Structure 1
Amino acid sequence: MCLILFGYKVSNKYPLIFAANRDEFYQRPTAPMHLWKNTPAILAGKDLEQGGTWFGVHKNGTFAALTNYRDPSSIRPDAPSRGEIIVDFLKSKKPPETHFNHLKEKQNPYNGFNLLFGSKDDIFWFSNLKNTIEKIAPGIHGLSNRFLDTPWPKVESGKKALQDIICGTITFESLFSILTDQSIPDDDQLPQTGVGLEWERMLSSLFIHSDTYGTRSSTVMLMDQNGTIEITERTYDPQDTLTYNDRRFVWEGSESGLS
């Protein structure tokens, strides 16, 4: 993913409100969110090129979402896929902090990434560039391709829009409306991440669209106090972003599975 917005313990009804966009080259083969055949306790999309994922949920109520750290000068072409990190976590039977403390302690082979993981009760952020695990405080947060709550324009505008929705009526469509914002900030507000001004402009909007690269899908997840999880993944047609397909999943707490 390239943008994650979430409200954590700021709503009486929903301890976790999650809205995110996955940006990727259009030619990269991808399977939409589904229950994985060999591990049906995992709900996630799949990168068919490397086999990993950018966001996933386990039937036990844990989840993980990953963003890349944007710094082209530090990219190692031979590094393993970061998408496997989420799969390994969702398959692990260790407590979340224990699992990622192990990742922190071993030599890190991956290119830069951020990982958001946990459950409605406790959420953590791990960056392999900072090599720290931080427990996230209640509030409204944003994560793009730098660090948690780095004040890039898209992160700040997304957090404000999420705050407005939480103060009003929370619906899936209102959350998706945040994620479709294609506003581009002025050049003097853009970050400088080493990709050049043209790409900085293109990547600066919440929803990205170009000839070859853009927002492939949006995901909205609501976890309520009773443990019910509702997720909708919206995948877009690169040729016509007004055309999309929705896949909806509901997990009614501990008494039934995702459907």
Structure 2
Amino acid sequence: MCLLVLAWKHHPRYRLILAGNRDEFHDRPAAPLNWWQDDPRILGGRDLKANGTWLGVARSGRFGVVTNYRDLQAPVENAPSRGQLIPRFLTGATSPKEFLDDLRGAAPRYSGFNLLVGGTRALYYFSNRGPNPRALAPGVYGLSNHLLDTPWPKLARTRERFNTLLSQPEISPEDLFAMLADREQATGTDLPSTGLPEDWERVVSAPFIVNERYGTRCSSVLLVERTGRTILQERRFDAAGIQSGNSRFEFTSAEVPEVWFEAEDPDETVATDTSFDSSPE
């Protein structure tokens, strides 16, 4: 992912509300959101170049999301795939804290990343360009290609709209997708300076990026009710920003007791506990 907002234990109905855009080069192959055939514990899209994912959930209630960290450092040579971190967590048995503590030693081997991993009771954040892993208290957060809650203009604008939606008793996926579809670019003093050429700074300053080479490939909405009912929906887009596919899955998490947490501070078809993809790809 390259832009996301989330509410963790903030809404009376939903334990987790997450909405985000994945930006990537259009020629990088990816598989649509689905239960993975080689590991049906994982529900997520898939990067077919490195076989990882940017966002994934499991029937156990575990979930994870990763974003790149934009900096001027050269890519780490022979770095492992950041997208492999998500399936490793989803299929593991350690707590989010233990997973990130184990990762810290190997983190410098990766190119820059932000990582959010959680379960039914706890949510943790870690960046290999920032401080140590930390538990997130109930609240509203935003993340792009810098540290958590860095107020880049596109993130600040998206988060403001997100807060408005959170004030409603019911959360509509359509409203969240509309929020993610914002294609307005920053101008003037609102244009951030992150080390990119000015023309590219302008292109990527929009929450939803449209460009023939690089842009928003998909938008995702994840809703997890306090009962464990989980909805994950993905809309995919071509280089012109036109929707090219849509997938929606619904299941109830197994709600496996996570005792190790006790010690820690419109036209789509619904798929329930079965593989399904309604995209026209």
TM-score interval for Structure 1 and Structure 2 normalised by the shorter chain: over 0.9
Q: Is 2:97 the partner of 1:114?
A: no
Question: Structure 1 residues 204, 120: CA separation in 2 closer, same or farther (over 3 Å shift)?
Answer: farther
How far 1:71 moved relative to its partner? Answer: 1.1
Q: C-alpha distance in 1, partners of 2:10/2:119?
A: 15
Aligned counterparts, 1:86-97, within 5 A: 86-97=86-97
Decide whether the 8 Å contact of 1:36 with 1:42 is kept in 2: yes
Decide whether the 8 Å contact of 1:55 with 1:64 is kept in 2: yes
Q: Deviations over 1:69-100 (max 9, x none)?
A: 00133322432211111121112111111111
Partner residue, 2:188:
187
Q: C-alpha distance in 2, partners of 1:246/1:9?
A: 27
Partner residue, 1:149:
149
Opposite residue 158 of structure 2, the aligned amino acid is: G
Q: Deviations over 1:36-82 (max 9, x none)?
A: 11210111111111111111111101100000000133322432211
Aligned counterparts, 1:53-72, within 5 A: 53-72=53-72
Opposite residue 109 of structure 1, the aligned amino acid is: R
Give me the TM-score of the superposition, normalised by structure 2. 0.87
SS of 1:163's equivalent in the other structure is helix
SS of 2:242's equivalent in the other structure is strand
Q: Is 2:272 the partner of 1:246?
A: no
Question: Structure 1 residues 127, 258: CA separation in 2 closer, same or farther (over 3 Å shift)?
Answer: farther
Decide whether the 8 Å contact of 1:235 with 1:245 is kept in 2: yes
Q: C-alpha distance in 2, partners of 1:198/1:9?
A: 39
Opposite residue 35 of structure 2, the aligned amino acid is: L
Q: Is 2:45 the partner of 1:12?
A: no
Partner residue, 1:173:
174
* Deviates further, 93-102 or 142-151: 93-102
Q: C-alpha distance in 1, partners of 2:137/2:94?
A: 22
Decide whether the 8 Å contact of 2:96 with 2:122 is kept in 1: no
Opposite residue 75 of structure 1, the aligned amino acid is: P
Structure 2: gaps spanning 5 or more residues? 256-271, 276-281
Partner residue, 1:222:
223
Q: Which runs of 4+ in 1 moved over 6 A?
A: none
Partner residue, 2:34:
34
Structure 1: gaps spanning 5 or more residues? none
How far 1:165 moved relative to its partner? Answer: 0.8
How far 1:121 moved relative to its partner? Answer: 2.5
Decide whether the 8 Å contact of 1:120 with 1:223 is kept in 2: no
